Amino acid sequence: MKLVIKNLTKTYKNGVKAIDNLSIEIGTGMFGLLGPNGAGKSSLMRTIATLQSPDSGSITFGDINVLEDNMSLRKILGYLPQSFGVYPKMSAEDLLDYFATLKGVSNKEERKTIVREVLEITNLYDVRRKHVAGYSGGMKQRFGIAQLLLNNPKLIIVDEPTAGLDPAERHKFLNVLREVGSNCTIIFSTHIVEDVKELCNEMAVLNGGKILKHTTPQKATKELDGTIWTKVIDKENLEENMKLYNVLSRNFNPDNTLNIRVHALEKPSEEFIASEPQLDDVYFIALKQDEPALV
C-alpha cells in the first residue's frame, strides 16, 4: 500500500511552520526520514499518525483518506513516539497482554499467541517475565516495537528510535526492524545517517519542513561518483579552506590535523585525493544546498 502526501502544511500556535507544503509518495519497505534537530520529522510523523491535524493538504494510505477517516488508519497503524513515557512495574508479557486487550483482542488464547509472537520477533522472549521499567534503553525500544506489532500493522511509524542507544543495542534494534519491515511500510526518522544506510531501501532528507531530496541510498551515492575529494589540513587552515572549497565535513586525525571532505565536479587542487562517496556526503550536500546564500 502506498502512502501519498500532498501539499501538507502544519503551523503551530506559536507561528512555527513545521511542515511546509510537503508532498511525497512512500511505498512498501523501509523508508528513512533523515534530518537535523527541528527539521520537522516528528511533526510529519505525528500528523501521519493522526495525532494532530495539518492546516492544509491531504494524506492517503491505500484507499484510506487519513485526515478524514482517522479510525481506519489507526486500526492498521503502529506508532512508536520519540519518548514512550514511564512504564509501570509490570512484566513485558503481562503488559503486552494488557495492551492486546486494549487493542480489542478479547480471546485469551489468541492474546497468548500474539504476545508470544511479538516477544519472539523482538528478541524479548527470554526476558518476558522481567519488569519493562527495568529494561535497558535498547530493550525498551524493542518492547515499543513489540507493542505496536500487536495489531499486525500495515503502516509503522518510528520516531528516532535509535537515539541514545549504544552500538550493540542499536544493532539489535535495527535487526528487529529489518525483520518486521519486509511486508509493510515503515517510516523511520533519524538524524543518524548510518541508520538509513544500514536499513532503508528509500530515503528523504527533510529540513525546514520541506523534502530536500527523495532518493535511494544507492542511487544517491552513485550520483556523487567522482565529485568527492579529501585533503589533510592543519586545523588553523580550516577557515581558509572553507572559503575556497565546498567543504562538506571534517574529521580530526590522531595527530590533530583535519581531514576535510569537499564536493566539486573537478579535482579542486593538486593536494586533493578522490574519495568514494558516502551517504553522509549526500546528506550534507542536500542541507548545504538549502542554506540561504551568504551575503
Ligand X SMILES: Nc1ncnc2c1ncn2[C@@H]1O[C@H](COP(=O)(O)OP(=O)(O)OP(=O)(O)O)[C@@H](O)[C@H]1O
- Where helices occur in the chain by DSSP H, the ranges are 41-48, 70-75, 92-102, 108-121, 137-149, 167-180, 193-199, 217-223, 238-244, 279-290
Interface with ligand X (CB under 6 A), residue from 22, 28, 30, 40: 40
Using CB under 6 A, count the residues that bind ligand X.
13
**Is residue 161 close enough to count as binding ligand X by CB under 6 A?**
no
Residue 63: CB partners within 8 Å, gap ≥ 6? none
Check residue 291 and report its DSSP letter: S
Q: Given the rule CB under 6 A, which of 38-46, 90-98, 211-219, 243-251 is the region that contacts ligand X?
A: 38-46
Cβ 111 vs Cβ 101: under 8 Å: yes
Interface pattern 180-209 for ligand X (x via CB under 6 A): -----------x------------------
Interface with ligand X (CB under 6 A), residue from 5, 8, 31, 43: 43
Would you say 112 or 191 has its CB closer to ligand X? 191
Least Å distance, CB 4 to ligand X, is 21
**Is residue 88 close enough to count as binding ligand X by CB under 6 A?**
no
Would you say 82 or 175 has its CB closer to ligand X? 82
**Is residue 51 close enough to count as binding ligand X by CB under 6 A?**
no
**Is residue 252 close enough to count as binding ligand X by CB under 6 A?**
no
Q: Is 245 helix (H, G, I), strand (E, B) or coil?
A: coil
Q: Is 95 helix (H, G, I), strand (E, B) or coil?
A: helix
Interface with ligand X (CB under 6 A), residue from 7, 12, 134, 182: 12
Interface with ligand X (CB under 6 A), residue from 3, 22, 31, 42: 42
Least Å distance, CB 282 to ligand X, is 18
**Is residue 15 close enough to count as binding ligand X by CB under 6 A?**
no
For every residue of 181-244, DSSP letters joined together read GGGSEEEEEES-HHHHHHH-SEEEEEETTEEEEEE-HHHHHHHTTT-EEEEEE-GGGHHHHHHH
Least Å distance, CB 123 to ligand X, is 27
Nearest Cα to Cα of residue 136 among 149, 120, 123, 155: 123
Would you say 34 or 148 has its CB closer to ligand X? 34
In terms of Cβ atoms closer than 10 Å to its own Cβ (0-12, 13-18, 19+), residue 159 is buried
Q: Is 32 helix (H, G, I), strand (E, B) or coil?
A: strand
Residues that bind ligand X (CB under 6 A): 12, 14, 16, 18, 35, 37-43, 191
